Amino acid sequence: MRAISASRTALPKVQNPLLVFLERMKRNWSGVLLIAVVVGYVAFLIITPITALALGAFEKGLGASLSALNQPEIFSSFWNTLWISLVVVTVHAIFGTIVAWVFVRHRFPGRDLINGLVDMPFAVSPVVAGYMLLLLFGRNGALAPVLESLGIQVAFALPGMVLATLFVTMPFMIRELIPVLEAFDTRQEKAAATLGASGWQTFWRVTFPALRWGMIYGVTLTFARALGEFGAVLVIGGGVQGRTETATLFIYRALEERQYIGAYSASLALGLFSLILVLGSDWLRRKRH
């Protein structure tokens, strides 16, 4: 009995995976070279800058970074960013779902062209996006008389910044939901309808649960992109300190004013926040599979 179990444990030799890898690679030099080139490139292009930011933020010690972050203007700018991002995510969660739904389920003339148009914010410069809104809502803008008579200020105020962020984050939710909707088996909906469910009930109880994960991922991508938006909110918001300054606009101003520790620490905080968001939802998604 004992002899058998001993021989069993001895059979699959416990080997260091690194050694196994090296052994295999001894026979494949071109493979080693390719892996080395790719790892080296990624280390240089992506890892080094991220490490530099972490080191730069703590250059003068943790205390200095924390006290640089502990300023009222940082709080108000991060608060603006968070507020704008939350509004943007909510709007896209609703309208993005509707748009994706119409694209997948409806056929109408011009569908391909409009489908291509949805990707435009991905390639249109954020500066141009902000400028477009300025042409509409600015002092001499096309809608200026209407806005003035209603007493609403859009440019150089939070509503304009929300609109700008809505524009630049447009594709994420829609592009995340379209494949999910396309893969969804509509027979489930038909079955629900046969059983007497109303259209709204069918959507809420059958379709929506299937969309949930696409929505979660779309929301995190939109949120991460909204947090980091800079060019568009700079142009339409003007970056008025304490009023229309977002986290990115604060970082920009801090750099200009040579408050390096503050700029680096705020960059690290913002970068980490959006990384955690995206990696967290990635992890959730992988856990589900």
| Shortest spacing between CB 158 and another protein, in angstroms | 17
| Shortest spacing between CB 281 and another protein, in angstroms | 10
Round to whole Å and give the CA distance between 157 and 239: 9
> Assign residue 198 a region: left if phi > 0, alpha if psi is -120 to 50, beta otherwise?
beta
| Shortest spacing between CB 245 and another protein, in angstroms | 13
Round to whole Å and give the CA distance between 68 and 70: 5
Sort 163 into a burial class: Cβ within 10 Å, 0-12 / 13-18 / 19+. buried
Which are the contacts of 109, defined by CB distance < 8 A and separation ≥ 6?
Answer: none
Question: C-alpha 16: how far from its chain's center?
Answer: 38
Measured from the Cβ of residue 126, the count of other Cβ atoms closer than 10 Å reads 19
Q: Which is nearer to another protein, 46 or 152 (CB)?
A: 46
Q: Which is nearer to another protein, 6 or 146 (CB)?
A: 146
H-state helical runs in 203-259: 208-228, 231-237, 247-256
Q: Which is nearer to another protein, 39 or 62 (CB)?
A: 39
Q: Which is nearer to another protein, 119 or 257 (CB)?
A: 119
| Shortest spacing between CB 170 and another protein, in angstroms | 6
Q: Which is nearer to another protein, 7 or 200 (CB)?
A: 200
| Shortest spacing between CB 249 and another protein, in angstroms | 9
